[in-house]
Structure 1
Amino acid sequence: MFRSLRALWGGRHVRRLLPLSLLARTHLSALPVALSFLIADWTGSYASVGLLSGGMAVGQAVAGPVRGRIADRDSLTTVLFATGVAYATGLGLLIAVAGLAPASLWPVALVIAFCTGLVLPPVSQISRSVWPRLVEDDQRDALYTLDSTGYELVAMAGPLLATTVVTLWGGPAAVAVCAVLATGGAMVFALVLRAAALEHVEPRGQAEPGEPAKRRSLLRDSVFRRAVLVAFFLMAALFSVNLSLVAWGRDRGEATTAGVLIALFSLGSAIGGLAVVGRGRKQNSGRSIGVLVVGLAVLAVLLPPLSEQTPVWTLAVATALTGTAVAPSLGASNARIGDLSPPERRAEAFGWLATATTGGVALIMPMVGWLLDEWGPTASIGLGAVSALVSAALAVSLPQPVRSEAAVPASEVN
């Protein structure tokens, strides 16, 4: 069953770069939990948590395509080093404001969160733009799904790490740990890219002189726009789960239990993704996201205020089963973006994907926070189910991909 997985892992650069890329993204799953405790303890409101998380996501969304264009033409090492340092500085300022300023000054933290989002190290979009250069054409979908699956595996550690640090030392320490992971991971990944002669996403010789100034926006293609919107609504749905479970655990005084449930969501995703990669079959994103819709609807029924006495083991099973649709959905969505983008513009294309995913988070987080304050987790998870339903409908509307680009085998990458 896992023959295709072994063949995919056989590439020298895949074995080196994929794990480092995943480790450099560990902070992404830990930071929402760490920030939730830092800001909620400071302001006493989940709405403020949603607004600050949304502000950071807006910053990430605004800068995504810009970072992509820079990566397409400049040194990836420079981009990753510069953003890593700036990002850690921004998180440090958030810790300082939350610790020293009165809660009434939370709008200042909103500005800092937005600016911090602007300089998020673009490890995700850079790595996804590099993957097609490392494998044969028929392995591309599998590598994107393995990327999503691997991220779910490391994402299990993020919430557990954050809640453990919160329990031992508090929210500020948890955010500080995220800053160290983000900066250190980006720098190490950048150095290995340079050593593998992959410091530039695509060889410069493929672009014609003057082309960058004249080329049309990728968003002018209606199919590409729909593919980006699939990711927009999908990520909005997924982020509704984390904050809802954090709120459920905090209200019950069981922060660690919430971290375990979030980790189980990621574990289910990893299992689902490995099953897809092992079968070596192309994944149907519309079907996978449809499964996610059903799972989120079930979770909404099991959580307060609709259900006040649901056993934790029932929530654990439902959360893990719902998660099995996540990595296959993300992998298929990412692969479609790679299919639809010109090789010399992949970093820009994945920059638009980053904009879409963070834009989805920016849209839903304030709404999730408000729903949690007013009605509780049933409403916030229900909103995520609606968002996933829109994503599934858009995925079904996309045409089947046609690939004409010749892939570069991993053995030919110096």
Structure 2
Amino acid sequence: MAGDHLVARPRPPAGKADVPRWRLVHAGLVLAPYRRLADVPGVLSLLLWSLLGRLYQPGVPIALTFLVADWAGSYLVAGLVTGALTAGQVVAGPLRGRAADHGSVPRLLLVTGLVYAGGLAALSWWPADWWYAAPLVAFVTGCFMPPVTQVSRAVWASIPERTAREAAYAVEATLQELLFVVAPVLAAMVVAVVSPMAAVLLCAALALVGVAGFAFAASRTELLSARASLTHRSARASGSVFRVPRLRGSLVMGFAFVASVIAIDLLIVAWARDRGTPALAGLLAAAWGAGSLVGGFVAGGLRGEPRLWLRIGAVLGGLAAISLVLPPVHPDPSPWLLAGVLVVSGLAIAPALAAMNGLVGRIAPAGRQAEVFGWFAAATTAGGALASVVTGWLLDAANPSVTAAVAASWCLVAVLLARHLTRPSREAGPDMAQYERT
């Protein structure tokens, strides 16, 4: 009847009925992988402690640089000390991973945590007259950096359900971005308010507590027991892991990808400093990290198999866009414009890292995942170290746009390798069977 549309109809009760059905369905699809991850016994505690066990890492170079520059009066000596610490991490990373595969993980974590924290404490009290021995102490300290990253990613590879496993990699890659925001700010604040020595000692304390907590959480999870069983059953697979198909290509891919990302990190700092507004560096880095956080959360809720080469390709597109909004292509870019481009380009970083870790976990032989992730960590650390040197030279010899374009070229290498490594014919190959026959 006419006017029926004016008759008041009873409203549904408050709650889900107030929300459009398509939104509920979409939210359910996005959160489903996270719910499956939460159903894995002990995984949330392990994930939390794996992040707390790495909280100190981004703050150590900052604290050490201020400390050594104070008592040595030289940034060159500070660079030698921090470089020696990084070299120790690269050299011993695969060895620590192998030890985690074939021994008691909690005991390894506690021993390395104690030695590493003790090494940082020794450096905090190091006498200035003995500056020439500080790089050696730093190198030994780096060799004992606790293998929290390798162990946690090896455990994620042991999660039986693919959806939950990919969600674990995504959550870790996403929340890891927070570490690179919180830790440097915390270290810089302690340096400014107290002293560089206090900042180094704080990093040592965070390492000791975080690693001990991770060791305790690891000892209580069934996933670690499952890994130990796999290691025992696959003991006959004792050949070099470099015989595993696609591993060498994966290491080069990780090297190139991390080099491209680190180059942009340094480029942001240089651009803000040369512009006379150094405080902008932190805001721009936060914008890039915010994009990565959002992208990582959304990617972790996707149910399909991640397409690694497309995710890295999206990062490549973002780096190309960054090169177009920097001098001399754009003579005087607005910080708002650059921040917006960084947010958009950062959306694919955490998803790409998660998919890379997932690929490495799939190709690693059973019982040797920690060793493989140790090699992958060494490759990415080396990529960041090379990017620091090359980017510094490019910023002196060229300009920001060229530097960003070079970073994009490294990312292009990662895209091509990812496309090659994830071809359907290669994904279907029985990697473990081929490995055991060598």
TM range (shorter): 0.7 to 0.9
Tell me whether 1:141 sits opposite 2:166 in the alignment.
yes
Equivalent-residue separation in structure 2 for 1:162 and 1:288 (angstroms): 32
Structure 2 distance, partners of 1:54, 1:393, is 30
Aligned 8 A contact 1:227 1:337 in 2 = yes
| Pairing 1:89–2:118 present | yes
1:55–1:362 contact (8 Å) kept in structure 2: no
Question: Which residue in 2 is equivalent to 1:28?
Answer: 57
Residue among 85, 104, 107 paired with 1:56: 85
Displacement after TM superposition at 1:132 (Å): 3.0
The answer to whether 1:189 aligns with 2:214 is yes
Deviates more, 1:185-194 or 1:125-134: 125-134
Q: Which residue of 1 aligns with 2:365?
A: 342
Q: Which amino acid aligns with 2:284?
A: L
Tell me whether 1:245 sits opposite 2:268 in the alignment.
yes
TM-score (norm 1): 0.83
Q: Which residue of 2 aligns with 1:258?
A: 281
2:96 aligned to 67, 83, 88, which one?
A: 67
For 1:236-273, what per-residue CA distance to the aligned partner results, in whole angstroms no more than 9, with x for missing partners?
22222333434455566755542333233222111111
Distance, in Å, in 1 between the alignment partners of 2:43 and 2:384 is 29
Task: Work out whether residues 160 and 260 of structure 1, in 8 Å CA contact, stay in contact via their aligned partners in 2.
Answer: no
Q: 1:16 to 1:246 in 2, by over 3 A?
A: same
Q: Which has the higher contact order (CA 8 A, sep 6+)?
A: 1
Kindly indicate whether the alpha-carbon contact (under 8 Å) linking 1:303 and 1:310 is maintained by their aligned counterparts in 2: yes
- Offset, 1:198: 5.3
What SS does structure 2 have at the residue aligned with 1:26? coil
User: What's the counterpart of residue 340 of structure 2?
Assistant: 317
Contact 1:239 1:361 in 2 (8 A): yes
Residues 75, 199 of structure 1: 8 Å contact kept: no
Give the CA deviation at 1:52: 5.1
What does the per-residue CA deviation read over 1:264-300, in whole Å, with 9 as the maximum and x for residues that have no partner?
3222111111111122222222122122223233334
- AA matched with 2:306: Q
Residue 412 of structure 1 corresponds to none
* Contact 1:76 1:200 (8 Å CA) reproduced: no
What corresponds to 1:268 in structure 2?
291
Q: Does 1:290 align with 2:318?
A: no
Q: Quick one: structure 1 residues 76 and 318, their matched pair in 2 at CA, closer, same or farther if it must change by over 3 Å?
A: same
How far 1:136 moved relative to its partner? 1.3
Q: Does 1:329 align with 2:352?
A: yes
Kindly provide the amino acid, as one letter, of the partner of residue 189 in structure 1.
F
Deviation of 1:5 after TM superposition, in Å, equals: 2.3
Amino acid at match of 2:161: E
Contact map agreement 1:296 1:384 (CA 8 A) in 2? yes
Partner Cα separation in structure 1 for residue 195 and residue 274 of structure 2? 17
Structure 1 unaligned runs (5+)? 406-414
- Unaligned residue ranges in structure 2 (runs of 5+): 1-29, 432-438
Letter in 1 for 2:87: V
Aligned ranges 1:364-379 → 2 under 5 Å? 364-372=387-395, 374-375=397-398
When Rg is computed on C-alpha atoms for both structures, the one with the higher figure is: 2
Shift of 1:80: 1.1
Q: Could you tell me whether the CA contact under 8 Å between 1:159 and 1:263 is conserved in 2? A: no
The 1:123–1:269 alpha-carbon spacing in structure 2 relative to 1, beyond 3 Å, is: same
Identify if the C-alpha distance between structure 1 residues 332 and 210 changes in structure 2 by more than 3 Å, giving closer, same or farther: closer
Matched length = 398
- Other-structure match for 1:16: 45
Q: Is the 8 A contact 1:48 1:369 kept in 2?
A: no
Q: Which residue of 2 aligns with 1:100?
A: 128
Structure 1 equivalent of residue 23 of structure 2: none
User: 1:334–1:169: structure 2 CA closer, same or farther, 3 Å change rule?
Assistant: same
**Quick one: structure 1 residues 179 and 293, their matched pair in 2 at CA, closer, same or farther if it must change by over 3 Å?**
farther
CA, structure 1 residues 179+296, in 2 after alignment: closer, same or farther (shift >3 Å)?
A: farther
User: Are the counterparts in 2 of residues 241 and 381 from structure 1 also a CA contact under 8 Å?
Assistant: yes
Closer, same or farther: CA 209–309 of 1 in aligned 2, 3 Å: closer
TM-score calculated relative to the size of structure 2: 0.79
In the alignment, the residues of structure 2 paired with residue 35 and residue 24 of structure 1 have an alpha-carbon distance, to the nearest angstrom, of: 19
Q: Secondary structure at the match of 1:344?
A: coil
Matched to 2:361, the amino acid is G
Instruction: State the percentage of identical aligned residues.
Output: 36
What are the Cα deviations for residues 68-97 of structure 1, in whole angstroms up to 9, with x where unaligned? 111112111111112212222333444455
Cα distance change of structure 1 residues 171 and 140 upon mapping to structure 2, 3 Å threshold: same
Q: Which residue identity is paired with 2:382?
A: G
Residue pairs, 1:105-124, within 5 angstroms: 108-124=133-149
1:199 deviates by 5.3
Alpha-carbon spacing, 1:232–1:202, altered in 2? closer, same or farther (3 Å): same
